[in-house]
Amino acid sequence: MNYSLITLEVLAVLMGLIVLLADLWVSPTARKALGLGLAAALGCLLAFAVGSLAPQSGSAFADMFVVDDLARYFKGFFLFAALAVVLMAVDYAPKFGAGLSEFFALTVFALVGMLFAASANDLVLLFVSLELITVTFFVLNSFQRTQLASLEAGVKYLILGGVSSAFMVFGIALIFGTANSTNLAVLAAKQKELAHSALFLIGLLFVLVGLGFKIAAVPFQMWAPDVYQGSPAPATAFLAVGSKAAGFVLLIRLLVGAVPQITAEWHRLFVVMSGATILFGSLCAIPQRNLKRLMGYSSIANAGYLLLGIVAGSAAGSTAMLYYLGGYTLTVLTAFTVISAIANHVESEDTSALSGLGQRSPFLAACLTMAIVSLAGIPPMAGFFGKLLLFKSVLDVAPGHPELYALIAVAVVGVVISLYYYFSVIRAIYWGGQSANLSIIPVALSTRIVLVACVAGMLVLGIFPQGLVKIADHAVAGLSHTVAPAKAAH
Amino acid sequence: MDSLTSVILTPVFTAVLLLLIPGNFRVVLRLAAILGSACTAWTAVSFFSRFHAGQEGLQFESLVPWVTVGPLNLAYHVGADGLNIGLILVTGLVGFAAVLVSWNIERHVKLFYVLLMSMIAGAMGAFASLDLFFFYFFNELALVPTFIMIGVWGRGEDRNWAAFKITLYLTLGALTALVGLVAFYVAAGANSLDVIVLKAHLAAHPLSVSAQTWIFPLVVFGFATLVGLFPFHSWAPVGYAAAPTATAMMHAGILKKAGLYAILRMAVPLMPDGAHRWLPVVAVLAVGNLLHCAWVALRQKDMNLLIGNSSLAHMGFAFLGIASLTVIGVTGTVLVMVAHALLAGLSFALSGYLETQTGTLDMTRMGGLLRKMPFYGTALVMGFMASCGLPGFANFAGEATVLFGSWKSLPWLVIIAAWSGLIIGAVAMLRALRAVLQGPEKPEFSRVADLGYWRRLPFVLLLSAMVLFGVAPGILTSRIEPAAKAVVAAHLTPSQAGQAPAVPAAHAAPAASAPGHSGH
């Protein structure tokens, strides 16, 4: 067996353990330096993961764990996200009180869960990696122990996460019972006969409940706004980027890779789910004033847009999802890095607290504006091209399926609505109200580097999307796509 | 580099340069912006003068493959023909004028000029683009600058509301058009959004009538919302009234034309059957612009609302020319677009200056200003007379051409257009002139001052361009005509558009009989 395939994961676990141990000897004042060291180590790991020394494609552990282009694609973004989150936490440290090193370590452990999720080719590994992510987030979300909202966020995530995990285990049990295997490749081979088994379909549905919770899609989105609002900003960022992307990579592996025929037959379900998620997220975001809560609803709406790729069911749809997730990662990291950087200088997390940001720090203001523009899907940022690819993938398969045209109409309405609440943030930055405090907000060098990297990434992806689209296209080439609605029509 | 890329990159580089200058070096920032926009204008003028009139096909072309992955194939393709060379010219001129009139911006000078430059770059890119994806991309570049500029430097209590209204309307229109474009991409099967590629492909494989019938309205009404076609127009007057002068000049003058340009570039020539089905609807709505907006303009007390509404009324002529589907009508439309860009730029520059002097735009409170401000008054008279359609200005040339071109196919609409555009419009403008310039002097405006010599430059520039194209419209029409022929070529034999793409253009396009053709 080729153990070298899990080099990345092993190295990441070691990093987490080293941070935990180092905490015993590092003085409290030097803990920020520990974070910077960890970020540097993650940067090396990222370079290793995207470089030519990275593990070659293959599978290990009885085909449970695969390394392919799809896994590599996501691992790169997970590592980058973890790096950015660690640096964010360094900025956010004064708000944590004690336990900064534990926050770093838990972030790395959640990262390990995501890395495994990207490679999961078996429902068991899928479950275990998701649990690793979920359990670490119980702690990360409630890390500000003195804050009631943070504790509430942790408890909510714990209870709803527990319920969704229960569904998932039950579903996996049913699938194992009917298919005699939990391996996705085996399921793919047997999907024709399994499609007639009601028990298998129920099992699959239950697994989807679990994944729907991860990606915060309607009707499993209830937790997102509260948890996003209550959690410390770096934890929210990681939740929004890493946890969601992990949910989507598993969704792609399961629905597009393993059981594309059943996905095609269920495509009405995904149409409804996607449309409802877009509308719920967009409409509920309108009255929000808390910035993190707004991002929570925005993340729901974005899950809806991403589901368009599943609805399309084609290679173009999966490519679009991958590209969109890439751009979304950079965008959300930019937004939360700014939120973390100003957390110590503004009194509240309301959008009104942003007033005067245009004067207090033109740099942060510009970064946040660009992130918002990207989220709203306006050129020249990455978000625009991602939405274009998603819309196109659905319109590709739409002829003859009026419900898909309706879905596109809903998505367009969603984008217009989202513009209203996104641009309210821009208004708050540049001309919303009068801020009494116009002192300059200092920005640490590490934060500056992350922001410049993210904004440059958003711009490059938006103006020269060719590179990433090509990589995403390669990454999904191994999946067995069927053009969903065309199949369903037969 | 003899490609239109240079005219897009000049404002982009200027914006980047401005970003590198510290924010408190205001004079340096202003000079850099003036220099950059002057270079842009000069580049545009030089392209216009080097353009070979009367020649078919594209000039100053450049083509760079941009995204080619699987079935997705987009290219950066720019080039000039009669449809866009005039628009590129006026974008340069109005952009330069907009930078020049922004001397009264005091807050966030750097941000202002960066946003203004990106608006100019976006407009240039949109007009130069032959790939519809890039057209959309560049056109949307102006959205966020518009929003921020109205919010930060805008006028009036309502500017917050106006900023959101203009943004949401424009986005809804743009997205509708985008869905239409993507559906068109999928339906055409050419794996390209390059109009040149599409034209060749569709000549061999025409799009089915049913697909044209539902894609055409998405594209055209989407883009028409960006132009302010009645009844999708209500964002325009409030938006312009709230916008700072330069933004209103750029938006009303230049960016509004982008929607028309896309309709002429793509929708009408590439979907002839859809055009025959839907353009009569557009023609009727255009009368809504001509009558309704002109009438609303008549009732305005605020000078910006007057200009905004009257500029919407002028858009009615542009739509009417398109709907006529004749070479003369389309040529007239392009003339109107060019002329109106100059006029709208001039009008908003004039109202902006007036507000800096009087602190208000309420015309009922003014009077007798001609004595205090002879140069300004003269410019205002010339601008508003041009808006009435006085011969000698480019606007007259354009509107008259549209009316001639539309007479055969849409006689009743021409009568209404002439009546409303030339009578109601004239009444509105003349009343405004009387209220502002004539009558007794008001004591509260005793301190108003005329424009200094340097400040006159943008006004002189725009006025002389209007007069030049007014007395010698042949400079423009000789350039426009071959392109206008290409636009309507497909309409001469709608059902066999594919077989005979190079039919010599005749003047009588059977628009009235067209629905019968496209029915099968």
Q: How far is A246 from chain B (nearest CA, A)?
A: 25
Across the range A140-168, mean pLDDT stands at 90
Q: Which residue does chain A place closest to B178, by CA atoms?
A: A388
Contact call for B152 and A431, based on CB within 8 A: yes
Q: Is the pLDDT of residue B84 over 50?
A: yes
Q: How far is B281 from chain A (nearest CA, A)?
A: 23
pLDDT value of residue A446: 87
> How many residue pairs bridge chain A and chain B with CB atoms within 8 Å of each other?
92
The dihedral over CA atoms of B443, B447, B448, B450, expressed in degrees to the nearest 10, equals: 130
Contact call for A419 and B168, based on CB within 8 A: yes
Give the H or E element holding residue B77: strand B72-80
pLDDT value of residue B497: 39
Across the range B73-83, mean pLDDT stands at 89
Contact call for A398 and B186, based on CB within 8 A: yes
Contact call for A415 and B171, based on CB within 8 A: yes
Residue type for position A134: T
Residue A63: closest CA among A137, A130, A121: A121
pLDDT digits (tens, 9 = 90+) for B416-446: 888 777 788 889 899 999 888 888 888 888 7
Q: Is the pLDDT of residue B85 over 50?
A: yes
Chain A residues lying within 8 Å of B23, measured CB to CB = 362
**Given pLDDT bands bounded at 50, 70 and 90, which one contains residue B36?**
very high
Q: How far apart are CA B447 and CA B435, in angstroms?
A: 18
B189–A contact, CB cutoff 8 A: no
Which residue range is the domain that position B278 belongs to? 5-518
Predicted TM-score (pTM) of this structure: 0.90
Across the range B354-362, mean pLDDT stands at 86
Of the partner residues B70, B164, B178, the one whose CB lies closest to the CB of residue A423: B164
Q: How far apart are CA A426 and CA A420, in angstroms?
A: 10
Q: Is the pLDDT of residue A433 over 80?
A: no
pLDDT digits (tens, 9 = 90+) for A208-223: 999 999 899 988 988 9
pLDDT value of residue B217: 92
Query: Average model confidence (pLDDT) for chain B?
Result: 86
For the stretch A76-79, contacts whose Cβ atoms lie closer than 8 Å and that sit 24 or more positions apart, written own/partner, are A76/A46, A76/A49, A76/A50, A77/A241, A77/A245, A77/A325, A77/A326, A77/A329, A78/A111, A78/A114, A78/A115, A78/A118, A78/A242, A78/A245, A78/A246, A79/A42, A79/A45, A79/A46, A79/A49, A79/A111, A79/A115
Q: How far apart are CA B28 and CA B51, in angstroms?
A: 34
Q: Which residue does chain B place closest to A389, by CA atoms?
A: B72
**Given pLDDT bands bounded at 50, 70 and 90, which one contains residue A488?**
very low
Domain-by-domain residue ranges, chain A?
Answer: 266-490
Q: Is the pLDDT of residue B415 over 50?
A: yes
Across the range B447-451, mean pLDDT stands at 83
Contact call for B67 and A465, based on CB within 8 A: yes
Beta bridge partners of A350: A290
Q: Which residue does chain A place closest to B71, by CA atoms?
A: A316
pLDDT value of residue B145: 92
Q: Is the pLDDT of residue A99 over 50?
A: yes
Of the partner residues B151, B175, B183, the one whose CB lies closest to the CB of residue A430: B151
pLDDT value of residue B492: 67
Across the range A42-47, mean pLDDT stands at 92
Q: Which residue does chain B place closest to A472, by CA atoms?
A: B69
Contact call for A416 and B168, based on CB within 8 A: yes
Contact call for B186 and A469, based on CB within 8 A: no
pLDDT value of residue B438: 86
Beta bridge partners of A120: A65
Q: How far is B125 from chain A (nearest CA, A)?
A: 12
Q: Is the pLDDT of residue A313 over 90?
A: no
Chain B residues lying within 8 Å of A473, measured CB to CB = 69-70
pLDDT value of residue B245: 92
Lowest mean per-residue pLDDT among A294-303, A341-350, B220-229:
A341-350
Q: Among residues of chain B, what percentage have pLDDT more than 90?
A: 42
Between residues B95 and A398, the one the model is more confident about: B95
Three-state DSSP at B241 gives helix
Instruction: Give residue for tokens 């949401």.
Output: B168
Token pair recorded at residue B168: 């949401």
**Given pLDDT bands bounded at 50, 70 and 90, which one contains residue A302?**
very high
B35–A contact, CB cutoff 8 A: no
Residue type for position B143: L
What phi and psi values does residue A391 have, to the nearest 5 degrees? -60, -45
Instruction: Give residue for tokens 């007794």.
Output: B440
B170–A contact, CB cutoff 8 A: no
pLDDT value of residue B54: 76
Contact call for B182 and A395, based on CB within 8 A: yes
Q: How far is A21 from chain B (nearest CA, A)?
A: 45
Q: How far is B416 from chain A (nearest CA, A)?
A: 36
Q: Is the pLDDT of residue A408 over 90?
A: yes
Contact call for A378 and B144, based on CB within 8 A: yes
Dihedral sign from CA coordinates of A451, A452, A457, A459: positive
Lowest mean per-residue pLDDT among A344-353, A455-464, B17-26, B267-276:
A344-353
pLDDT digits (tens, 9 = 90+) for B122-173: 999 999 999 988 999 999 998 999 999 998 898 888 888 999 999 999 999 9
**Given pLDDT bands bounded at 50, 70 and 90, which one contains residue A119?**
very high
In angstroms, what CA-CA distances link B121 with A56, A478, B9, B13? 45, 41, 7, 9
Token pair recorded at residue B140: 């949307």
Across the range B478-484, mean pLDDT stands at 88
Q: How far apart are CA A251 and CA B222, in angstroms?
A: 35
Q: Is the pLDDT of residue B399 over 80?
A: yes
Which positions in chain A have a beta carbon within 8 angstroms of at least one beta carbon in chain B?
315-316, 319, 358, 362, 369, 373, 378-380, 384, 388-389, 391-392, 395-396, 398-399, 408, 412, 415-416, 419-420, 423, 426-427, 430-431, 464-466, 469-470, 473
pLDDT value of residue B52: 86
Q: Among residues of chain A, what percentage have pLDDT more than 70?
A: 97
- Local structure of residue B208 (DSSP, 8 states): P
pLDDT value of residue A481: 62
pLDDT value of residue B510: 39
Lowest mean per-residue pLDDT among A57-66, A325-334, A455-464, B250-259:
A57-66
Q: Is the pLDDT of residue A1 over 70?
A: no
Residue type for position A131: E
pLDDT value of residue B364: 85
Token pair recorded at residue B104: 């009264």
- Count of domains for chain B: 1
Q: Is the pLDDT of residue B494 over 50?
A: no
What phi and psi values does residue A378 have, to the nearest 5 degrees? -115, 135
Contact call for B111 and A362, based on CB within 8 A: yes
**Given pLDDT bands bounded at 50, 70 and 90, which one contains residue A91?**
confident
In angstroms, what CA-CA distances link A63 with A5, A13, A59, A226? 12, 22, 5, 38
Q: Among residues of chain B, what percentage have pLDDT more than 70?
A: 94
In angstroms, what CA-CA distances link B195 with A109, B58, B184, B488? 52, 12, 11, 15
Q: Is the pLDDT of residue A175 over 80?
A: yes
Residue B223: closest CA among B186, B170, B301: B170
Q: Is the pLDDT of residue A334 over 60?
A: yes
**Given pLDDT bands bounded at 50, 70 and 90, which one contains residue B520?**
very low
ipTM over 0.90: no
Q: Is the pLDDT of residue B1 over 80?
A: no
Between residues B497 and A48, the one the model is more confident about: A48
